[in-house]
């Protein structure tokens, strides 16, 4: 790859980081950049000079992104909306699944003859662990899915794709909720109601603590992400 190609490649990657540009926008700007570079080179500028002048004339990426976003604000809003919907779906699925898995753990513990308090601890711990790891796992899957989309794709999905996701979600939710019920029934049968009540008590306390802690954790993550993005943006602007 020549230097010009490498430079254009890096520049194109910079643009595709922003959701303001569609694949078509980037192609159009790239054509412009290439044409300008060719003209400047014909006028006797070196490869590097031509690239620098052409890029300068085209304008800096963040400024362009701002202008492009103004024209097509609707598409951006849809993109945000669809990622929000994905987030909500992911959260629901992760919490159903973690309920199912934690009840499974409690049932297995009961089979080993553990007492109600220990089982409650196991249930609560499993629930928190699985919800965190499922969220992380789901997020990784969603991210790799988003990255596999062509540059600047609309960000939404086609109807068959949406139906497929919906069916998968319903199936997962159904299985985990069903599993939770079956495991709970089996546990109650083997432990007896009183011992199971103790397990529920511990899980209830843990749930209470978790309910208070999660928003705090979420707030910390939001603030950290905000600081990170701002720092990243400053670095990009300086390049």
Residues that bind other proteins (CB under 8 A): 24-25, 27-29, 31-32, 34-36, 57-59, 63-64, 67-68, 70-72
Given the complex with other proteins, which of 57 and 189 has the nearer CB atom?
57
Rounded (10°) CA dihedral 52, 56, 58, 59: 140
Given the complex with other proteins, which of 58 and 177 has the nearer CB atom?
58
Given the complex with other proteins, which of 27 and 125 has the nearer CB atom?
27
The per-type count for the chain, helices as H runs and strands as E runs, is 8, 0
Given the complex with other proteins, which of 63 and 230 has the nearer CB atom?
63
What letter would DSSP give residue 44?
T
Q: Which residues contact 195 (CB under 8 A, 6 or more apart)?
A: 115, 116
What is the nearest approach in angstroms of other proteins to the Cβ of residue 71? 5
Cα-based distances in Å from 180 to 20, 37, 183: 44, 64, 5
Given the complex with other proteins, which of 21 and 96 has the nearer CB atom?
21
What is the nearest approach in angstroms of other proteins to the Cβ of residue 55? 10
User: Rounded to whole angstroms, how far apart are CA atoms 70 and 20?
Assistant: 9
What is the nearest approach in angstroms of other proteins to the Cβ of residue 120? 59
What is the nearest approach in angstroms of other proteins to the Cβ of residue 223? 33
Given the complex with other proteins, which of 34 and 198 has the nearer CB atom?
34
Sign of CA dihedral 143, 149, 151, 154: negative
What is the distance between the terminal CA atoms of the chain, rounded to a whole angstrom?
A: 22
* Token representation of residue 206: 């843990």
Do residues 90 and 135 make contact, with C-beta atoms less than 8 angstroms apart? yes
Given the complex with other proteins, which of 69 and 157 has the nearer CB atom?
69
What is the nearest approach in angstroms of other proteins to the Cβ of residue 51? 14
What is the nearest approach in angstroms of other proteins to the Cβ of residue 70? 7
What is the nearest approach in angstroms of other proteins to the Cβ of residue 126? 52
User: Rounded to whole angstroms, how far apart are CA atoms 238 and 8?
Assistant: 18
* Residue 68 exposure: Cα atoms within 13 Å on the Cβ side: 23
């Amino acid at each position: 790859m020549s230097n010009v190609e490498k430079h254009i490649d890096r520049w194109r990657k910079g643009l595709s980081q922003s959701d303001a540009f569609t694949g078509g926008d980037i192609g159009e700007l790239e054509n412009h950049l290439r044409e300008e570079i060719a003209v400047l080179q014909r006028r006797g500028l070196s490869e590097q000079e031509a690239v620098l002048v052409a890029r300068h004339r085209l304008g800096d990426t963040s400024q362009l992104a701002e202008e492009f976003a103004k024209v097509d604000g609707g598409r951006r809003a849809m993109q945000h909306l669809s990622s929000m919907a994905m987030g909500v779906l992911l959260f629901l699925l992760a919490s159903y699944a973690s309920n199912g898995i934690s009840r499974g753990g409690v049932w297995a513990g009961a089979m080993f003859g553990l007492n109600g308090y220990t089982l409650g601890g196991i249930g609560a711990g499993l629930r928190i662990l699985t919800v965190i790891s499922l969220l992380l796992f789901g997020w990784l899957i969603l991210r790799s899915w988003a990255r596999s989309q062509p540059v600047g794709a609309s960000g939404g999905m086609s109807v068959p794709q949406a139906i497929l996701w919906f069916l998968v979600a319903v199936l997962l939710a159904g299985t985990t909720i069903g599993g939770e019920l079956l495991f709970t029934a089996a546990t109650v049968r083997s432990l007896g109601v009183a011992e199971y009540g103790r397990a529920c008590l511990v899980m209830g306390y843990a749930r209470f603590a978790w309910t208070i802690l999660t928003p705090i954790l979420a707030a910390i993550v939001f603030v950290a992400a905000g600081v990170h993005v701002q720092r990243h943006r400053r670095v990009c602007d300086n390049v």
